[in-house]
């Protein structure tokens, strides 16, 4: 009897413990009572009625990421390529997520594939390769509207890889190579053009500097010649001034000593003889000096007798 009571108490404790549910953060429990939806439990501790309540589904409320395998799609210009997508979604209504669709992830995958085919079918190959942002936006809008009845919100859709056929890849690589070679040729031509312009500008600047230097040299030479002429003129003027001053002093001296006219005329005669210096062939002597010369000659002859 005591053993039966102990077993009964243990069973009651196990049943009571199973009726206690602790819901962690970012998680929700969808509860059913006798097979019907009874409510959604959020974060915290909850108690359920034994045998009649059960957890129908445990739902995570975190943002989830699903990477779908590449899907074959055909562009508007009949090019078949493979595109794989990444979908970021979050469950906003656990009840709709539990009862809205049987397999939500598979439903999202199939919906993503059909939406992608519809969008790519309206684009050509070049547009598909260059319009990722546009495709992502259109897909996110379409998936968000379609998954709203399932309690799912699509936050982002990204095209992970776009894989064109091998022949298209070869053609694209050749096109890219030709484009790179064209850009290289353009850059080289522009570099040579700039180099030629710089060389011409350098020659121009050099010619301008040479002309400026020659101009400055000419100005300096002219100024030097001018200074030389001024110095020579000043020297000649000083020499003339000295001569005139000497003459004036000689005349003043003669005046001071009281020399008569005969001596002055004799000095004049000596000056004429010195001026001739033996080089002149003809000398014109004033009459007064000629008379004085005759008198001097007569006096000399008388002294000899």
Task: Note the pLDDT tens digit of each residue in 224-257.
Answer: 888 888 888 888 888 887 877 776 776 666 666 6
How far from 40 is each of 48, 53, 75, 164, 289, CA to CA, in Å?
Answer: 12, 12, 45, 47, 159
pLDDT at 270: 59
Tell me the pLDDT tens digit for each residue of 36-60.
Answer: 999 999 998 988 888 888 889 999 9
The three-class DSSP label of residue 153 is strand
Q: Which residues of the chain register pLDDT less than 50?
A: 280, 292, 295-304
Task: Tokens for 82, please give them.
Answer: 């493979």
Cα–Cα distance, 66 to 232 (Å, whole number) = 106
pLDDT at 71: 87
Whether the full predicted model's pTM is greater than 0.75, yes or no, is no
pLDDT at 285: 52
Q: Which residues of 18-54 are buried (b: 16+ CB within 10 A; e: fewer)?
A: eeeeebeeebbbbbbeeeeebebbeeeebebeeeebe
Report the C-alpha dihedral over residues 243, 244, 246, 251, rounded to 10 degrees: 140
Asked whether 98 and 91 are in contact (CB, 8 A), the reply is: no
* Consecutive H or E run containing 44: strand 44-47
Beta strands in 107-227 (DSSP E): 152-163
Question: Would you tell me how many other CB atoms lie within 10 Å of the CB of residue 142?
Answer: 19
Residue tagged 């001026």 (tokens): 275
Topology of domain 64-164 in CATH is: Tetrahydropterin Synthase; Chain A (3.30.479)
Q: What are phi and psi of 187, to 5 degrees?
A: -65, -40
Q: Which one, of 134, 120, 139, 136, lies nearest residue 75 by Cα?
A: 120
Domains of the chain, by residue range, sit at 2-60, 64-164, 167-258, 260-305
Task: Tokens for 280, please give them.
Answer: 């002149």
pLDDT at 303: 45
Q: Is the dihedral of CA 228, 229, 234, 235 positive or negative?
A: positive
Half-sphere exposure of 251 (CA within 13 A, CB side): 7
pLDDT at 262: 56
Cα–Cα distance, 115 to 135 (Å, whole number) = 10
Residue 90: Cβ-neighbour burial (10 angstroms; 0-12, 13-18, 19+)? middle
Q: Which one, of 114, 110, 67, 113, lies nearest residue 86 by Cα?
A: 67
Cα–Cα distance, 238 to 256 (Å, whole number) = 26
Asked whether 137 and 86 are in contact (CB, 8 A), the reply is: no
């Amino acid at each position: 009897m005591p053993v039966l009571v102990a077993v009964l108490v243990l069973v009651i404790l196990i049943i009571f413990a199973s009726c206690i549910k602790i819901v962690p953060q970012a998680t929700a429990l969808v509860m059913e009572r006798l097979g019907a939806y009874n409510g959604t439990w959020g974060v915290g501790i909850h108690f359920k009625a034994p045998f009649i309540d059960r957890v129908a589904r445990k739902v995570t409320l975190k943002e989830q990421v699903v990477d779908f395998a590449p899907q074959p799609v055909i562009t508007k210009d009949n090019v078949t390529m493979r595109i794989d997508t990444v979908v970021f979604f979050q469950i906003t209504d656990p009840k709709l997520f539990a009862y809205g669709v049987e397999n939500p992830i598979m439903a999202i995958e199939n919906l993503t594939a059909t939406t992608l085919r519809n969008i790519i079918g309206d684009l050509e190959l070049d547009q598909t390769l260059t319009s990722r942002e546009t495709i992502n936006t259109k897909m996110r809008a379409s998936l968000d509207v379609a998954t709203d009845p399932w309690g799912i919100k699509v936050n982002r859709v990204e095209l992970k890889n776009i894989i064109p056929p091998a022949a298209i890849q070869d053609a694209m690589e050749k096109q890219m190579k030709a484009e790179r070679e064209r850009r290289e040729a353009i850059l080289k031509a522009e570099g040579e053009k700039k180099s030629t312009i710089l060389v011409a500008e350098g020659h121009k600047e050099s010619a301008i500097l040479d002309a400026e230097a020659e101009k400055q040299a000419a100005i300096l030479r002219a100024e030097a010649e001018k200074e030389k002429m001024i110095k020579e003129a000043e020297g000649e003027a000083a020499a003339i001034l000295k001569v005139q001053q000497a003459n004036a002093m000689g005349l003043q001296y003669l005046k001071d000593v009281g020399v008569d006219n005969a001596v002055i005329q004799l000095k004049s005669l000596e000056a004429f003889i010195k001026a001739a210096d033996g080089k002149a062939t003809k000398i014109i002597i004033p009459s007064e000096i000629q008379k004085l010369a005759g008198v001097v000659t007569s006096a000399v002859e008388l002294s000899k007798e």
